[in-house]
Every structure is written in structure tokens, then in C-alpha cells.
Chain A
């Protein structure tokens, strides 16, 4: 079982390693643009709950980045499945569905952590000092666990690469904007806030932000993310079986 997980994981890492020199610039572009735009446009005047806007924004970007990068594993799986037919090699191999999902989810989480490393460096260059401690990394890991698991499950369900792009547009993009990344969810009308509080990303942003700013974290968010992640993981394992025609 362990060997199956390693096979799947190492394969993704070897591919990532070959692309890393292109991947790092691509990971930096959008956080760099957000940081530049917001630090000049709104940065100076605005403060939220006693913090500068950049101090508020960077944890939001980290939450968003860990979500999108963990979720991006879905595209990798899709290309491997529909374009290169490599998924058949895994289907034919004597490895468990659990091992396959675990390997891909770990690969997604690794991607997310590397991309977040880039944002942390950028934040440092923009002169923002935050606390990156245990609570921060736990929130980050849980958030990427949730979205990598969701990604693997959806990648098994979709019928083409175009479907995949559509799902990203419907699920990930709205969540990226609404999940407490760019503005505090609490400032919205109560009903809107209540809806957004159902999104896992909202909890991840809150937890990551509290941890970064050295404020007390809400344990409930961690437990909730863990439960949602485990649920998605279980669903993903089930979807791998269903991917047989």
C-alpha cells in the first residue's frame, strides 16, 4: 500500500520538478499583482480590525493560493487521463484505490505548500511580517487536504477536460473571491455572511488569518476542515471505482 502511494506521489513530483523553473514564476504572478495593486491602490488608507490591508490580504492570498494550487491537481489528473491515457496504467496496476487517491492528494498538498512558499517570500519582500507557526501550517495543510481531495474526486467524475475547466469556474473562482480572502465576511449582511460561513475556504481563511496575525484561533474551523476533507477523500476513493466504464 505504502509503495503504491509512493509510486503515484513520486511520479507527480518528478513531473513537477521538471516544470519547477516555469512553475515558480507562474505561481508568483497573481500574488505579485494583487500585492502591488492593493498596496498602492488601497493599502495606505485602509485598515481592518487594527491591521494594515496587506496584513489582512496576505493570509487571504495564502488561503486562496493553497486552495487553487491543491485543486490544480485535477487538471494534471485530467490531462494524464484523457490526453495521455496514463490513468489506465494505474487502473491496471495492483494498487488500491485508497493508495491512488492518497498519492494524488499528497501531490496536490505539496504543490499548494510550494506555491504558498512563494507567497510568503513575496509578502516578506513587501515588508509584511506575519507569524508562521504551528496553527498556521495546520490550517494550510487542512485547507489543501480539503481541496486536493475534492479535486481528485471531481477529476474522476468529469468526462472531458473542458468539463473540468467549467467546474473550476463554477466552484473555485467564486469561492476564491467570496471565501474571506479579500474582505472580511463579517462585514457582509448577516444572511450573506451565513451562507459564506458554509464554505470551507471561509473557515480556512479565518484560521490562517488568525494564526498569521497571532490572534487566538478557533478550533472548530480546524475540526470542520478535517471532517470535510475526510468526506471528500472518501468520496474520491469511491469515484475512482466508478471511473471504470
Chain B
């Protein structure tokens, strides 16, 4: 479980977070969705003890990251936004060092390494140097590393950024699988469909403030079920309808180009922020 209360972070003149409140429940996938610079990474860095908060408290499984740092740090695994593996070491060595950093017994590490490499489908790469792996493999290795010490909470900062569609789906499947083992997952993303597919609940964050927090279904339902995108005088406009029939009725007797589709999370986000996420 993660509890964040009134979290504020100010860098010299930038207000990165302006009082965020979050309560992530045990076993859920919680997506933190927002555009570039919204404050997603800042939140994760504070939650994981890499950055100090200006004000507010963060509890992980009940431990305060600022005052009970040692205990809090044992509760979670972290997959940061930038790849931070030791490129000149092998896959196995990277995992071994991580196990020692988390006070695991060497005898336990060996078994757990095999188990996790199997889990993320990297067993054949065990002895390879990390620099010889592809981007998707490195991501999977980072996930395996973060799970090595069997944490109850997993932080994923943009886990699929820069990966192709097929690999992204592979990582999504992996994340779902990790949830099924009982792990609580806090993930940030600026891909709407990622949050829509994975998350039990989604928080929209924009310029350091949370603008909405609900299940994807509820967030979308607020706008209706169907949407029509159309061009009016060269400006794109989206109209929302409760039912398909309403939308069809609207379209009869009109000649301009349009697209009829289901409402998605992006509509909800646009509505709440007046801005477009990628």
C-alpha cells in the first residue's frame, strides 16, 4: 500500500508537485498518467527516497520514506525511467549485486535469479553482457531486478517508453502477471492506452496537480459512451453521446467527414485538462 499526503516539491523556481494525495490499495495496478513534465517521475523519486519532498508524507506499507527510510526501502522494487543497468557486467552479475544490496543470502539469490530470468524470458542471456541486449530485453531485466528481493510494491516509471508495439504488449502481459502474484503496482505513463489496458485505477496529473482519480470505466463514462470526431472549418471537434443511436441520429443529414468511435480515456483526459496527452 502506498499513501501519499499533500505532497509538494519545489525546485528553485519550478513547482513540480503542488499538493498531491494518493492512496494505492494493496494488489491494485495504479496508473499515474500525465503529459511530459507533469511531475510523474518526481513523485516516484520522492516515494522511493531518491529525492526529498518539500512538504508532505509518503508511507509505503506503513513505513515513512523520510523517517523510516531503511524499512521503507525494503518494501518496494523500482524500475526507473532511464535504463540504469551495469552495461559492462553480465545479466547474472547485475542481479547478484542487486541481491547483495538488498541483504539477500547468496544461496537464495542464485535460485531467485534463475526463477526470475525464466519469468521474464531472459534465461538464455544469463551470461551475456548487458550492453549486448536489446532495449526490450533491458527493460525486462530491470523488471526482474526490481522483483529479485520479492517486494510487495513495484514502481514502474514509463515501463514501455521507446519500445515497439509487440514488445510493449509483452511487457503489459508481464505486468499483469506480476499483479496476479499479489504485488501492488504503481506505474507512470503518458500512453493513454497503457493506462486503459493495465490500470485498476487511474490518476490524471497535470502541472503538478491531480485533476482526476477513478477507474478507467468511470472516467470514460463521465463523457458518454460514443464519440464523433469531425472537422468544422478546419478545426477538429469531438462530440459525445450516451448511446450509439443518439450518435447515428446526429449524423443523418450531415455531409462532412467524421469518425464514429467508442469514448476512451483520452477523451476524459482532454475534457479535464483541455490538453492532449500523446
Tell whether A and B belong to one assembly: yes
Taking Cβ atoms with an 8 Å cutoff, the residues of A that contact B are: 3-4, 6-7, 10-11, 14-15, 18-19, 84-86, 88-95, 244-245
- A18 partner residues in chain B, CB cutoff 8 A: 88-89
A92 touches B73 (CB 8 A): yes
- A85 partner residues in chain B, CB cutoff 8 A: 80, 82-84
B100 touches A89 (CB 8 A): no
B101 touches A88 (CB 8 A): no
- B102 partner residues in chain A, CB cutoff 8 A: 93-94
A94 touches B51 (CB 8 A): no
Q: 17 A-B residue contacts at CB 8 Å? A: A3-B101, A7-B100, A18-B88, A84-B87, A85-B82, A85-B84, A86-B84, A88-B50, A89-B101, A91-B50, A92-B48, A92-B78, A94-B101, A95-B101, A244-B49, A244-B52, A245-B51
The answer for the CA separation of A84 and B73 in the assembled complex, in Å, is: 21
Binary interface encoding of chain B residues 56-89 relative to chain A, with 1 for a CB under 8 A from any of its CBs, else 0 = 0000000000000111011000101011111111
The answer for the CA separation of A10 and B100 in the assembled complex, in Å, is: 10
Taking Cβ atoms with an 8 Å cutoff, the residues of B that contact A are: 11, 48-52, 69-71, 73-74, 78, 80, 82-89, 93, 97-98, 100-103
The answer for the CA separation of A18 and B70 in the assembled complex, in Å, is: 33
List the 10 closest A-B pairs by CB distance, nearest first.
A7-B100, A85-B84, A93-B101, A94-B73, A7-B101, A85-B82, A11-B97, A92-B78, A94-B74, A91-B50
**Smallest distance from the beta carbon of A56 to chain B beta carbons, Å?**
39
**Smallest distance from the beta carbon of A65 to chain B beta carbons, Å?**
24
- B70 partner residues in chain A, CB cutoff 8 A: 94
Q: From the candidates A4, A6, A14, name the one contacting B89 in the complex (CB within 8 A).
A: A14
Residue of A nearest to B82 (CB): A85
A11 touches B49 (CB 8 A): no
- A94 partner residues in chain B, CB cutoff 8 A: 69-71, 73-74, 101-103
The answer for the CA separation of A90 and B73 in the assembled complex, in Å, is: 11
Q: From the candidates B48, B89, B103, name the one contacting A11 in the complex (CB within 8 A).
A: B89
The answer for the CA separation of A94 and B50 in the assembled complex, in Å, is: 12
**Most chain A Cβ neighbours within 10 Å, of B49, B97, B101, B103:** B101
The answer for the CA separation of A135 and B51 in the assembled complex, in Å, is: 45
The answer for the CA separation of A14 and B92 in the assembled complex, in Å, is: 12
- B49 partner residues in chain A, CB cutoff 8 A: 91-92, 244
Residue of B nearest to A244 (CB): B52
- A10 partner residues in chain B, CB cutoff 8 A: 97, 100
A19-B88, A86-B85 provided; 6 other pairs, C-beta below 8 A? A4-B103, A10-B97, A15-B88, A86-B84, A95-B101, A245-B11
- B98 partner residues in chain A, CB cutoff 8 A: 89, 93
**Smallest distance from the beta carbon of B81 to chain A beta carbons, Å?**
9
**Smallest distance from the beta carbon of A13 to chain B beta carbons, Å?**
11
- B86 partner residues in chain A, CB cutoff 8 A: 11, 15, 84, 86
- A90 partner residues in chain B, CB cutoff 8 A: 101
Residue of A nearest to B103 (CB): A3
- A4 partner residues in chain B, CB cutoff 8 A: 100-101, 103
The answer for the CA separation of A6 and B97 in the assembled complex, in Å, is: 9
B51 touches A244 (CB 8 A): yes
- A7 partner residues in chain B, CB cutoff 8 A: 97, 100-101
- B69 partner residues in chain A, CB cutoff 8 A: 94
